[in-house]
Amino acid sequence: MIINLDPIFSAEGAFQEIDYSLDLSGETVNGLHPFSSPVNIKGEIRNHTGIVRLDAKADSVLDVECDRCAAKVKYPACADVEHIIVRSLNDDDNDSFILAEGSQLELDDIIREDFLLQLPVKFLCSEDCKGLCPNCGKNLNEGPCSCKKEIDPRLAALAQFSDFE
Ligand SMILES: [Zn+2]
Ligand SMILES: [Zn+2]
């Protein structure tokens, strides 16, 4: 979405509403394409006493995999997109400032970057996901695997017996 900044910069109190969807289906996160649903953006760009702020929320539902057990997970993700838009940068300006030298502001890249930066590094199907057995690879959320039987005392005794033979 392209915003025409001139009318916003030229009058205090001027604003433009933002309400649109962004397709990020081409984005890769952890080797997957999790954006099967569009990202919905709602907010505004407003001139508050001469300072132009972009203030929006972006949300979507991502198709990701659990970092421990690789189960498919629907992850509701939300990001704050908050920036001050300036037409020239001073030394004391910081990263949350966006420099817009022309009269148009391309929102898509700003939202894309903020949304990806605010995603968690890891996704879990649940806080207490037991993960996969490092030995046999079985999903331990579905029950214990046969590796545990190695410490069964009867089997241990049998193993000892066959050693003795
Ligand atoms: Zn899991
Ligand atoms: Zn196992």
Prediction pTM value = 0.80
Q: How far apart are CA 159 and CA 142, in angstroms?
A: 28
Question: Which listed ligand is nearest to 70 at the C-alpha?
Answer: 1
Ligand 1 center–CA 139 separation, angstroms: 8
Same domain, 14 and 25: yes
Same domain, 11 and 74: yes
Question: Which listed ligand is nearest to 69 at the C-alpha?
Answer: 1
Same domain, 134 and 123: no
Same domain, 52 and 67: yes
Same domain, 104 and 49: yes
For residue range 127-137, what is the model confidence (pLDDT) as tens digits? Answer: 999 999 999 99
For residue range 96-127, what is the model confidence (pLDDT) as tens digits? Answer: 789 998 899 999 999 999 999 999 989 999 99
Give whole-number Cα distances, 91 to 88, 94, 97, 110, 146, in Å: 10, 8, 11, 22, 63
Same domain, 65 and 113: yes
CB 78 within 8 A of CB 57: yes
Mean predicted confidence (pLDDT) in 12-16: 97
Ligand 2 center–CA 139 separation, angstroms: 9
Ligand 1 center–CA 18 separation, angstroms: 36
Looking at the structure of the chain, the number of domains it has is 2
Same domain, 106 and 81: yes
Give the structural domain span for 64.
Answer: 2-129
Same domain, 54 and 118: yes
Ligand 2 center–CA 122 separation, angstroms: 23
Ligand 1 center–CA 125 separation, angstroms: 4
Same domain, 51 and 122: yes
Same domain, 108 and 152: no
Ligand 2 center–CA 113 separation, angstroms: 40
